[in-house]
Amino acid sequence: MIKEGVFLGKRYEILGRIGSGGMADVYKGKDHKLNRFVAIKVLKSTYRSDETFIKKFLSEAQAAAGLMHPNVVNVYDVGQDRGLYYMVMELVEGITLKDYIEKKGKLSAKETISISIQMVTGIQAAHNCHIIHRDIKPQNIIISKDGKVKVTDFGIARATTSTATQAVTTTVMGSVHYTSPEQARGGIVDEKSDIYSAGITMYEMITGHVPFDGDSTVTVALKHLNEVIKSPAEEVPDIPYSLECIIMKCTQKLPNKRYMSCEELLQDLKHSLVDPEGDFVVLDGVTRRMPATSQDTGRTTVVMSPDELNRMKNRQNYNDDYDDDYDDDYDDDYDDDYEDDYDDRRRSRYDDDDDYDDRRRSRYDDDDDYDDRRRSRYDDDDDYDDRRKDRYDDRNRRKKNEVNKDTKKIMKILMVVAGVVIALLIMFLVGNAVGVFKGGKGTTTQQTDSEMVKVPDVTGKTYEEAQKELNKYDLGIHKSTAPSDTVAKGKIISQDPADGKKVKKHTTVNVVISSGEEAKTTTIPNVVGMSEADAEKALQDKNLVVKKGDPVYSDDVEQGEVVSVSPSEGAEVKEGTTVTLVISKGNQPATVPKLTGKSQSDAEAALSQAGLSGNATEDYSDTVEEGVIISQDTDAGKEVSKGTTIGYVVSKGPKMTVVTVPDLSYKDQNTAEKLLKQAGLTPEYIGEDYSDNYPKGQVFYQSVSSGTQVEKGTTVQYMVSKGAQPSAPDSGNSGNDSGTEENTNQ
């Protein structure tokens, strides 16, 4: 964990940690250059020495760097500082969609559609930049305080032009509860894989849980591969029909049965807002709801007639209130101020705001006629239910009142009809036996033919023209795209069933629309080690588009030469593909650490960690204790080349001054004191004693011999003579007289 106050890249200040993932920690920071708050994603220390994880981390930055969109968390910068790999992103203050679902239990239909539109818009922006997210899930969707929905975390994203995306691998990327079947089995992953994950996310929003769960990731992945997703209507009976169809289409096992693009999905989501019970979603072999009747309330796979479709459209179970429970359920312990502000803004955007209703009505209909037409199409909930109940009760009453009086009449009619049918059957059997009906068309064939139509030729037409033509014959249409060198872009290449073939009404005709000429393929040339100019020319000669990535330091590649290329060298790509070059900035500089005040061992360790070496010298110092560094020849914080030698001075302590001890013999006390002090020594008188050789009052002893060199300030002790010691008196006679006489005689 990085401490608060640390600067990265001499620009971004760490303010505190706000989250943590599998690979990285996320911090709130401040960009002091642009004076704005940012989110800083830092690779965890566990992975900083792992080249695989570093490349994965940098790939996320590269994948997201080209995305600048209101519904995507934008990436501002990426860098490395002191062994820390970091990515600077837009700071979005809000809540993840996962947390929001958990707090609400499940979302209303309108809220689900509104969030989904913004989510899919962000995914579409990535797809437009040829980026497949591959990990769409509620945890990677953020709802900001102002209600903006943003897609984040492109950690396993890949470019659609990358060969890695097309390769079959046994490694399943993404979160298993939201992964597509093809992704679970390690197959080809494209835009439709993100659409599948978006469908699972919508399923969780409307039901409150994911469709598949299990004890292990393998169990869940197998369910995505093998089990059919139950319709959300089984748990949410009042789900709008169009939203049910959208979710079911997104989550089809086969990619070609899903939406072909986010553009198609967005079109249906927006349509669902104004026509929630409409049958405009094109489904191919998907289980759909039947209109409820007194005999059948189940579900089956059918092709609906126009009458059935109209009856379906008359159902109105969609709640026009946005979500009254929103205020009550929103995260009480998240942030009360945030809750109030967010709810107010949300209500102002989607519910109570009259301006929003006016805008919505003006967008789709005239203000005065909007509600009238909507009521006439779907009916008000209460009136609709009442009318259905009244019709049902009236029908039952009529049947009950009429059954008695008409029973006999009906029975007579039925007997007559039965007799006629039996007679006709006998005639047919007899006629068939004698060959009367041979070669002709029987009644049954004629009835079958009346339900059949010839498929018109729609090749060469646009999708809209084909749809209009097929509708004339009560036929549906489903489109897919394919490149063509002969058919203009947007025109139909082929159709199935073919033109002229007889099919039942309401059959879906599959058409393939031209996406234009298929781009020619080429191979990424070997440009690593080339100069920037030569590499650009080599790529342009291959009809490739050159993009400059952020330059990096390299100990192996000279400054100004290519360090790496993406897609990698030798990869087969289409002409016109964007290729990113990463240019070397030369050897990575090292930052000189602060050495002063450290011990010599600590200084050498700091230099080694920074990739530098040290050169020590010694000197005396009256202020710095022995063994501690006095100074360094290169300022701390300066960037130098790795391997540079940094000189520093180690203290030997205070410098010692040497003086010579004077001779104090035969000097009186005052003279001795004076001589010692003049020599820079400290005199110390320790008393007096008898001496036969030194007269009274003269120095006869000193602690340090004269002529000795000692450190200035050294203490020298000395003693003064009391003179000769007197003789002891003679016992028994006058010793004084004898002594005197003896001495005198001498």
Which positions are annotated as active-site residues? Answer: 135
Q: Of 87, 85, 86, which is closest to residue 74 (Cα–Cα)? A: 87
3-class DSSP state of 715: strand
Rounded Cα distance, 439 and 429, in Å: 15
Which contiguous run of DSSP H or E holds residue 197?
helix 191-207
**Helix 262-274, helix 109-128: angle, nearest 10:** 160
For every residue of 481-533, DSSP letters joined together read: EE--SSSPTTBEEEEESPTT-EEETTPEEEEEEE--SPPPEEE----TTSBHH
Distance CA 619, CA 627 (A): 10
SS3 state at 450 = helix
Helix, coil or strand: residue 181:
helix
User: Would you tell me how many other CB atoms lie within 10 Å of the CB of residue 733?
Assistant: 8
Calpha distance 683→671 (Å, rounded): 11
In SS3 terms, 93-115 reads as CEEEHHHHHHHHCCCCHHHHHHH
Total residues found in the chain within this entry: 746
Output the furthest CA–CA distance in the chain (Å, rounded): 201
The rounded distance, in Å, linking the Cα atoms of 38 and 2 is: 16
184 CB neighbour count, 10 Å cutoff = 21
Single out the residue of 586, 614, 621 nearest to residue 600, CA to CA: 614
For residue 33, with 0-12 CB atoms within 10 Å meaning exposed, 13-18 middle and 19 or more buried, which class applies?
exposed
Helix, strand, coil in percent for the chain, rounding step 5:
35, 20, 40
- Three-state secondary structure call for residue 160: coil
d(CA 514, CA 481): 6
**Token pair for 387:** 């009318």
CA torsion, ordered 295, 298, 301, 303, to nearest 10 deg: 40
State how far the Cα of 736 lies from the Cα of 695, in Å rounded to an integer.
24
> In sequence order, what are the beta bridge partners of 77?
88
- How many whole angstroms separate alpha carbon 89 and alpha carbon 91? 6
Query: What b/e readout covers 132-163, taking b as 16+ CB neighbours within 10 angstroms?
Result: bbbbbbbbbbbbbbebebbbbbbbbbbbbbbe
Task: Give the burial class of 51: count Cβ atoms within 10 A of its Cβ; 0-12 exposed, 13-18 middle, 19 or more buried.
Answer: exposed
Displacement of CA 636 from its chain's centroid (Å) = 37
**Six-digit token pair at 14?**
């760490």
Q: What DSSP string describes 127-143?
A: HHTTEE-S--SGGGEEE
Handedness of CA 663, 669, 675, 681 (dihedral sign): positive
Helix (H, G, I), strand (E, B) or coil at 303: coil
C-alpha atoms less than 13 angstroms from C-alpha of 276 in its C-beta half-sphere:
19
How far is it, in rounded angstroms, from Cα 206 to Cα 109?
6
